[in-house]
Amino acid sequence: MKAFQIHCGKVALLDRDDVDTDAIIPKQFMKCMSKTGLGPYAFDSWRYLDQGSPGQDCSTRPLNRDFELNLERYHGASILLTRRNFGCGSSREHAPWALLDMGIRAIIAESFGDIFRSNCLKNGILPITLESAVVATLIKEVRETPGMQYLIDLNWQQIVRVNAPVIHFSIPPAWRERLLSGMDEIALTLRDVDAIQAYEERHQAAHPWLFPNMNSQLPATEPDVAPTTQI
């Protein structure tokens, strides 16, 4: 996954509670198994006036002008600001895939669905949890200031704003290190591939009966058969 260290980007406001994963990426797009290409379908049922389907060309679809993220002021945003319980509902990794493909690298909210939050972290999206009063202040700020940008520094765990106090946030140290390095669980495991290989060799040498060489137990040729005596 792409490392997250310092990110500066435009903020988009989705002023809603309890945005579930089916709203983020509707169920019909669960057929897609690629992590890329889902961005145009993010928030599909809110974003467009018609019913979307996998593989559809979204450039000609009618937009819902009442949907917040369709506003021109939020075009190109890479930071999403929302409210309570974002990403609740069913477990689907397609939700962070769609947001990441849409260009979102960080989400600021009062709280997140637990599995969604974990899936974000595993895919390089930084979910930042802040107190409701702080989120309310940021929402007011973004609503009143078109083109608002934040600088998010994961090293120092802070959000930097123009002419405003720095906001500090916390994230578990293990996840922080993973995001900073850009290493997912597979990459972390592969760091120890030599140690894993050495262990496997020691284990096989100490317990050879667990690793039989099946080829050596098979006869090289068909056994000779004594001719049948005719009487």
Q: What was the pLDDT predicted at 187?
A: 72
209 part of a folded domain: no
Span 25-51, pLDDT tens digits = 999 998 888 889 999 999 999 999 999
Q: What was the pLDDT predicted at 47?
A: 97
Q: What was the pLDDT predicted at 4?
A: 95
Task: Yes or no: say if 117 and 127 are a contact pair by the CB < 8 Å rule.
Answer: yes
Distance CA 175, CA 154 (A): 11
Q: What was the pLDDT predicted at 206?
A: 87
Q: What was the pLDDT predicted at 89?
A: 93
Q: What was the pLDDT predicted at 231?
A: 45
45 part of a folded domain: yes
Q: What was the pLDDT predicted at 45?
A: 96
The mean of the pLDDT values for the chain is 90
What string of DSSP letters covers 72-117? GGGTT--EEE--SSBTBSS--THHHHHHHHHT--EEEES-B-HHHH
Q: What range does the domain containing 67 cover?
A: 8-150
96 part of a folded domain: yes
Q: What was the pLDDT predicted at 127?
A: 98
156 part of a folded domain: no
Q: What was the pLDDT predicted at 215?
A: 45
Q: What was the pLDDT predicted at 226?
A: 54
91 part of a folded domain: yes
Most confident of 30-39, 164-173, 175-184, 196-205: 164-173
48 part of a folded domain: yes
Span 62-118, pLDDT tens digits = 999 999 999 999 999 999 999 999 999 998 999 999 999 999 999 999 999 999 999
Q: What was the pLDDT predicted at 227?
A: 53
Number of domains in the chain: 1
Nearest to 38, CA basis, from 81, 95, 119, 106:
95
Mean pLDDT for the stretch of residues 9-16: 98
221 part of a folded domain: no
67 part of a folded domain: yes
- Would you say residue 146 has pLDDT above 60? yes
Bridge partners (DSSP) of residue 152 are 7, 159
